[in-house]
Each structure stands twice: as structure tokens, then as C-alpha cells.
Amino acid sequence: MALKLHVESLSAWYGEKLAIQDITMDVEDHMVTAVIGPSGCGKSTLIRCLNRMHETIPKARVEGKVLLQGEDIYAASPVSVRRRIGMVFQKANPFPTMSIYDNVAAGLRLNGVRNRDELDKAVLESLKQAALWDEVKDSLDKSGASLSGGQQQRLCIARALAVKPEVLLMDEPCSALDPIATAKIEDLIFDLKKDFTLVVVTHNMQQAARVSETTAFMYLGKLIEVNNTRELFERPREALTESYITGRFG
Amino acid sequence: MKFPFNRDTRRRWIDLTMSIAAFVCVVIAIIPLGSILIEASIRGLQSLSPAVLTSTTGQGGIGNAIQGTLILILLSALVSLPVGILTGIYLAEFGKNRLGAAVRFFVEVMTQIPSMVVGIFVYSLVLELGLIGLGSPRLVFSTISGVLALSTIMVPFVARTSEEALRLVSIAVRESALALGIPRYRTILRVVVPSASSALVTGSLLGIARVAGETAPLLVTAFGNNDWFRGVDQPIESLPHTIYIWATGPYVAQNQAAWGVSLVLVLMMLGLSIASRVVIRLRSVSR
């Protein structure tokens, strides 16, 4: 298995408050890694540290290393890191003043791509990858806000894919969606690992079991256990993991 | 089953009473607005004619006042909108520090300063500068000092409304732009500012409307002029000034004509507001 991301002794703070503590884990290439754990355990903070979004919050601070194919992302510029490691958020948030086309093209356009053919191609490809093309191909000039919640989330995924990241981080991408829209996103996650490496935060354990190869369980800011998903759910090594996945707390 | 006079009935009565009260308040609020429009229309239309609109106040018309107001508004907007909006961007995007707090405080205080005080301030400023050789004391009564006075009122107003407009853009929008690897300055200029554009336009127009009706600071700066515009270093006429002079003048005919001038001013503001709404509608993508 090829290693994509290596996280080493990563800790993160919000002001004085320690949110995640001394986390070390690996993310395999072209695999889905799920991060589970109860609310407030630091799952979102962890993945926000993986593309340097954590530091956009005032007074937030990070220590430790995150290596993207051996290269420390904290030694590079945040802008270039975020182009290689994209992110999809919990709530679908298309740019409100932009059309569907412009939303998908935004990442390229605002990074200086002007060539119309290149943009057209990227928009088509990304919308197809995000399984949204057939639903929007006749309304690319409509507002992104005109789509349904599930479509908006797939639009946000297409927008993130358009800049051709290597890794896609997803922060509870389905938590605001109904079961049908959730199923579509899960299918999509399955397809996307052909071309990308994914890290998916979810508070839904069934979802982690369905979509991921590796699962990390976090509790109170610490990484308790990380293992092959099947192993973790069937034969957890830690007692804490077992009581969480069997629903005794959280 | 029989219900006694219970809380439910009481609740309905209160609901009805409050609805009526709210409706009455709306009517009370609309009365002055409506009566200004109606009064200005009825009385004003009589005194308006193509000849009045195209001749100068020296000839009994108001053409130069319309021209003057447009010039004052245009120049003040050219000065104030960039400064005000950029200040708003600074406050909303970078102002979470002590400098930001200080700027915000001064902006706040400046919006409270009576416009007459602003007029006197610009008057003395231009005069003092003129006396030490920067410009000329003659510029005290000129388009330039009129624009300075109006801008002093407009900049803090636009800065505040812009800051509020930009704060309404959700953090999620900024985050998703940053997460695409878009640098912060482009995120602000190409994503955040366009997202707030209709609120920014509204704020700017309110700023323009705020100064377009100002009379007090213009009395001691732009001064007034019975002829057409003769240059930025010369006194200039404006609609509010004409209204002030004519409405307080001794001649009944001028008092009448002041209504016509009021109507023109009101219609200009109305036109401005409608035009901006059309622009916003054309710019936004279809739903």
C-alpha cells in the first residue's frame, strides 16, 4: 500500500483549549479513511489540520507534522497545500452569486485559468465525477442555490474536484442530507477513490463501515484506535472503541 | 364538550389586538411618507415646466441646481465609495485587532457628527490651508469644499454599511473559497465582495441619498450659485440649497416653486433607488 499522508505528533489548539492531542496516523493512497467519534472529539479539527484550514480561525494553532508524500505541508504555503488537498464541508455552501458553471469553475478561474476550453472541460469532467452532470447539464447558467440540498453538496464536491486535488477531505458531507441523497454521496465516495484519496469525517458509524477501508476512532481529542475498517468494527483492540461502536456512549 | 373562557381564547384576543396595533403603526409610519410625496407632487407639478428645468436659478429655473447636485453627488461618490468600501472591507476582514477597533470607533463617532459641524470643519480646514498657501482661501466657497464636506459625511456611513454587508457573508463561503486554494485577497475580492454586492450597492445608495439632501454643510462650503457650473474651484448650486433659499424667501411665487424643486429631488432619489435595483436584478443569475 502506498502512503499518501503521514500525520505525526499532531496537536491543535483553539486559543488555550487543546482540541486534538498528539495524533499519529497514516492515510493510504486511493483509499477511503473514515474518522469517527462522538461530537466534540476533534474529528473536524483533525481534518482541518490536514489542509491547513485550522489556522484560518483566529488564535488557532497547530504543532506537529503532516507529510503529503513525504513533504511537510506546514513547510509549504497554505494556498498550494489547499490546491493539492481539497475539502468538502458539512453544509453545502455553493457560492451564492455564481451559476452552477461558475461555481465549479471558480477554483480554476480564481487561480488564473482563463482558457474557455480548459474551463469547459474541467466543469464537464468534475460534474460527471460528482455524478451531477445529467441533472444539471441543461441549467449550467442557473444559480447554484436553485439546486436541492443533495445536489448542492454534489456541486460542492464537483467544485472541489475541479482543481484536481490529490486528496479530498470531507467533513460530515451527509449530515444535512436525507437517506437518498446520502446514498448518492456514498456511491460517489466509492467511485472517487479511483482517482483520489479520501478522508471522511462522519458521526455515522454505519456510513464509516460502508464507505471506508480504514477507520480511525477518536475520543476527547485523542486517537484511540486506527485500523482496517472491518477489523475495527469486528474486533476492536481498545475497550473504549468497543463500547463506542456498540453504542454504550457517544 | 364545552370550553370555558380559557387561555386559548385570551391568546386569540391578544393576537387580534396586536395585529391591529401593528397595522395602525404601519399606517402612522406611512402617513408622513405618503403626504410628502402627494403634497410635493400636487404643489410641485404646477411649478415645473421644461423652461424651469432648463434655465438657471438666476432666470427663475432650477437647471443649474439639478446640474450642481448631480456634480456634487458624482464627485462625492467618486471620493467616498472607494474609501468607504475599502474601509468596510478592512473592518470586516482584517479588523479583529486594536487598530480595527479604533477605526471602528472613529467611524462610529463620525457618523454621529451633525452635518453643520462637518460644514464648519471643512470651511475652516480649507480656509486655514489656503492661508498657509495650500490651495487658496477663495476655495472655501467652491465645488471642491462642497465635495469635501459631503464626503466627510459619506465615508463613515458607507464604511459602516459596507462592514455590515460583508459580515453577513457566511464564514462557510469564505472557508470553501480558501479550501479551493484561492488566496485570501482573491477570496475577498472575487467571492466575498460579490456575495455582498447587493447590500453594498444598497449601502452606497443610502450614502448618496444621505448626502444628496444635505443643506447645512453646503451653505458654508458649496455656497450656491445662480449660474451654471463654472468649475470645481467655483461656488456651485444644489437642489437642497435652492429649496432652502426659495422656501424661506419673501416671495410667494418662490415659495411655490420650492415645492417643484422638492419634487425633483424626491424623484431623483427614487430614480436612483429603482435604477440600482434593476442593476442588481440584471446582475444576479437566474434561479
Backbone dihedral region for residue B183 (phi beyond 0: left; psi -120 to 50: alpha; all else: beta): beta
pLDDT (tens digit, 9 = 90+) per residue, B220-245? 999 899 999 999 999 999 999 999 99
Cβ(A198)–Cβ(A22) under 8 Å? no
Residue B169 to chain A, least CA–CA distance (Å): 9
What is d(CA A82, CA B178) in angstroms, rounded to the nearest whole number? 8
pLDDT (tens digit, 9 = 90+) per residue, A128-154? 999 999 999 999 999 998 899 999 999
Q: How far is CA B221 from CA A13, B76, B116, B217, in A?
A: 56, 14, 10, 6
Residue with cell 468596510: B88
Mean pLDDT value of segment B131-139: 90
Grid cell, residue B230, equals 463654472
Q: How far is CA B26 from CA A157, B13, B33, B149, B177, in A?
A: 47, 20, 11, 35, 42
* Chain center to CA of B19: 33
Into which CATH architecture does domain B63-242 fall?
Orthogonal Bundle (1.10)
What pLDDT sits at residue B213? Answer: 85
What is d(CA A229, CA A206) in angstroms, rounded to the nearest whole number? 11
Q: Which of A110, A123, A161 to mutate to test the interface with B (most CBs of B within 10 A)?
A: A110
Residue contact A163–B181, C-beta within 8 A: yes
* Chain center to CA of A131: 17
Mean pLDDT value of segment B30-51: 90
Backbone dihedral region for residue B219 (phi beyond 0: left; psi -120 to 50: alpha; all else: beta): alpha
Q: Any idea what the Cα angle at residue B89 is, between residues B203 and B276, rounded to 5°?
A: 25
Q: Give this complex's ipTM.
A: 0.89
Is B281 a residue whose pLDDT tops 80? Answer: no
* Chain center to CA of B105: 21
Q: DSSP letters of A170-229?
A: EESTTTTS-HHHHHHHHHHHHHHTTT-EEEEE-S-HHHHHHH-SEEEEEETTEEEEEEEH
Residue contact A111–B286, C-beta within 8 A: no
Residue A231 to chain B, least CA–CA distance (Å): 33
Run of H or E residues at B211: helix B197-212
Half-sphere exposure of B32 (CA within 13 A, CB side): 3
What is d(CA A111, CA A83) in angstroms, rounded to the nearest whole number? 10
Among the partner-chain residues B179, B195, B286, the one whose CB lies closest to the CB of A95 is: B195
Confidence category of residue B286, pLDDT binned at 50, 70, 90: very low
What is d(CA B267, CA B259) in angstroms, rounded to the nearest whole number? 12
Domain-wise residue ranges, chain B: 63-242
Cβ(A216)–Cβ(A199) under 8 Å? no
What pLDDT sits at residue B287? Answer: 41
Residues 6+ apart with CB under 8 A from A222: A20, A21, A22, A23, A42
Q: How far is CA A3 from CA A35, A53, A71, A157, A215, in A?
A: 17, 22, 12, 23, 15
Which residues in A lie closer than 8 A to residue B165 (C-beta atoms)?
A: none
A vs B, Cβ pairs < 8 A, gives 86
Number of other CB atoms surrounding residue A47 within 10 Å: 23
Residue contact A51–B172, C-beta within 8 A: no
Residue contact B284–A98, C-beta within 8 A: no
What is d(CA A48, CA A32) in angstroms, rounded to the nearest whole number? 17
Mean pLDDT value of segment A31-45: 94
pLDDT (tens digit, 9 = 90+) per residue, A155-202? 999 999 999 999 999 999 998 888 988 998 999 999 999 999 999 999
Percent of chain B scored above 70 by pLDDT? 97
Residue contact B186–A142, C-beta within 8 A: no
Residues 6+ apart with CB under 8 A from B179: A51, A53, A82, A86, A87, A89, A160
Domains of chain A, start order: 3-94+166-245 (3.40.50.300)
Average pLDDT score over chain B: 90
Among the partner-chain residues A56, A58, A146, the one whose CB lies closest to the CB of B178 is: A56
Cβ(A53)–Cβ(A82) under 8 Å? yes
pLDDT (tens digit, 9 = 90+) per residue, B196-219? 988 898 889 889 988 988 889 999
Residue contact B197–A97, C-beta within 8 A: yes
Point out which residues pair with A85 in neighbouring strands: A167
Residue B95 to chain A, least CA–CA distance (Å): 12
Q: How do beta strands A60-68 and A71-72 pair?
A: antiparallel
Minimal-distance CA residue of chain B relative to A84: B181
pLDDT (tens digit, 9 = 90+) per residue, A203-235? 889 999 999 999 999 999 999 999 999 999 999
Cβ(B218)–Cβ(B119) under 8 Å? yes
Chain B residues whose C-beta sits inside 8 Å of any chain A C-beta:
96, 170, 172-183, 186-187, 190-191, 194-195, 197, 284-287
Nearest Cα residue to B150 out of B215, B227, B241: B215
